[in-house]
């Protein structure tokens, strides 16, 4: 999965362009750039690859979500429905604009359950945020229908699933807005960075201003630009964007390698009747970033995860006990632990999350996920498949 596995001469060339002209900042200093505008080039390439009209690159996946929420005018007291299984950045972004994250159960896609989403909608709901965890997606058609029925924003957090598709469309492009992370362990890395895609001219116009202190970017004198509304600093540097340009060119190759490795491992584990696999919605094609399996019970899943480690199979995760990706360990959210004071609207709204999520627990307690790496040789993948099969059979 990680793009840094393929870091090489292409990335160094793009970075050297920036070092040679000496302009590390995204905006201004045009006479010095020698024609190099790396952030702008990455945006153009991202929009083209994702078949969208617009793209905005920013400093991280978290800032991408934050900017997207702000562009959709989501703020004080508004509720955003999000899954119990994601990275903490999802709710951090929601809180950062003054809105309330409302946790919602997942199903066997390991993403939002549309039936649970429908039940979670309140008069304060303004957006649905499916998170395409571990390379695959929610039932987006169902979620889009719900969003349209209730006049809600559909914001795709595709930070872990760049390159996957749904109904023939790149993940991130199906909803009103889509967000990516380009951090160091993502399929496409900038070191640190993120991206927003949309087909909405309104959202795109807001994004380029909001992420840069509200600058309208009109004219050639940055100090004379106007500020139609408040913004913040979520800019990406030219150095980070330069890395992303080279990385994005490799996406199709990354997907091809991941699918190959994923398929070998899945075919091997398919021989074990007790192992089943995460559901990929009809018309969906995952990015093959992770192989996600279900064991019959929580006890067997725990034993399988331990056995995999004992058999030398690394990079396997039991998310049910994870501090960062599953709601059970998010006491800082559930107990509203913050250095800055939350508004009363947020403190009251967060109380909705102080409950159990039995449906989510039923799936996550039985799930083991294994990262798909790019640099495995064919013999290493086959050896890994044998070790995984041996490990899981040993606990059944």
Q: Which residues are tagged catalytic? A: 186
Contacts of 30-34 with CB under 8 Å at 24 or more apart are 30/220
CA distance 204 to 198: 7
Closest C-alpha among 312, 317, 318 to residue 299? 318
CA distance 134 to 59: 22
CA distance 197 to 54: 6
CA distance 127 to 16: 41
CA distance 199 to 107: 29
CA distance 77 to 102: 11
The two tokens of residue 48 are 């083209």
Neighbours of 27 (CB within 10 A): 16
Kindly tell me the burial class for residue 358, based on how many C-beta atoms sit within 10 Å of its own C-beta (0-12, 13-18, 19 or more): exposed
- The CA-atom distances, in angstroms, between 293 and each of 84, 109, 190, 274 are 18, 11, 30, 10
Rounded to the nearest 5 percent, the helix, strand and coil shares of the chain are 45, 15, 40
Q: What is the CA angle 248-68-164, rounded to 5? A: 40
Closest C-alpha among 134, 135, 85, 150 to residue 113? 85
């Amino acid at each position: 999965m990680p793009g840094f596995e393929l870091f090489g001469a292409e990335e160094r060339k793009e970075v050297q362009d920036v070092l040679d002209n000496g302009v590390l900042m995204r905006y201004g200093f045009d006479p010095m750039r020698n024609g190099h505008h790396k952030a702008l080039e990455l945006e153009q390439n991202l929009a083209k690859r994702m078949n969208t009209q617009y793209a905005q690159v920013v400093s991280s996946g978290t800032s991408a979500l934050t900017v997207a929420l702000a562009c959709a005018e989501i703020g004080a007291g508004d509720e955003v429905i999000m899954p119990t299984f994601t990275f903490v950045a999802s709710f951090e972004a929601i809180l950062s604009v003054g809105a309330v994250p409302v946790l919602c159960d997942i199903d066997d896609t390991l993403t939002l359950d549309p039936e649970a989403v429908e039940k979670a909608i309140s008069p304060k709901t303004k957006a649905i945020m499916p998170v395409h965890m571990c390379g695959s997606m929610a039932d987006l058609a169902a979620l889009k229908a719900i969003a349209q029925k209730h006049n809600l924003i559909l914001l795709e957090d595709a930070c872990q699933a760049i390159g996957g598709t749904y109904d023939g469309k790149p993940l991130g492009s199906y909803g009103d807005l889509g967000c990516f992370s380009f951090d160091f362990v993502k399929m496409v890395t900038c070191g640190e960075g993120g991206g927003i895609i949309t087909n909405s001219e309104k959202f795109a116009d807001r994004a380029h201003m909001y992420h840069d202190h509200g600058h309208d970017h009109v004219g050639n004198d940055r100090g004379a630009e106007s500020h139609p509304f408040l913004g913040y600093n979520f800019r990406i540097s030219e150095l980070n964007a330069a890395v992303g340009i080279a990385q994005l060119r490799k996406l199709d190759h990354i997907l091809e390698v991941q699918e190959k490795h994923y398929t070998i491992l899945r075919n091997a584990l398919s021989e074990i009747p007790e192992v089943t696999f995460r559901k990929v919605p009809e018309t969906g094609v995952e990015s093959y970033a992770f192989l996600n399996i279900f064991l019959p019970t929580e006890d067997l899943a725990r034993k399988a995860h331990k056995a995999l480690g004992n058999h030398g199979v690394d990079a396997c995760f039991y998310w049910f006990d994870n501090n960062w990706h599953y709601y059970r360990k998010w006491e800082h959210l559930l107990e509203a632990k913050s250095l800055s004071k939350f508004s009363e609207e947020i403190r009251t709204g967060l109380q909705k999350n102080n409950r159990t999520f039995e449906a989510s627990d039923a799936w996550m307690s039985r799930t083991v996920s294994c990262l798909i790496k790019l640099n495995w040789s064919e013999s290493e993948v086959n050896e890994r498949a044998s070790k995984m099969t041996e490990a899981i059979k040993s606990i059944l």
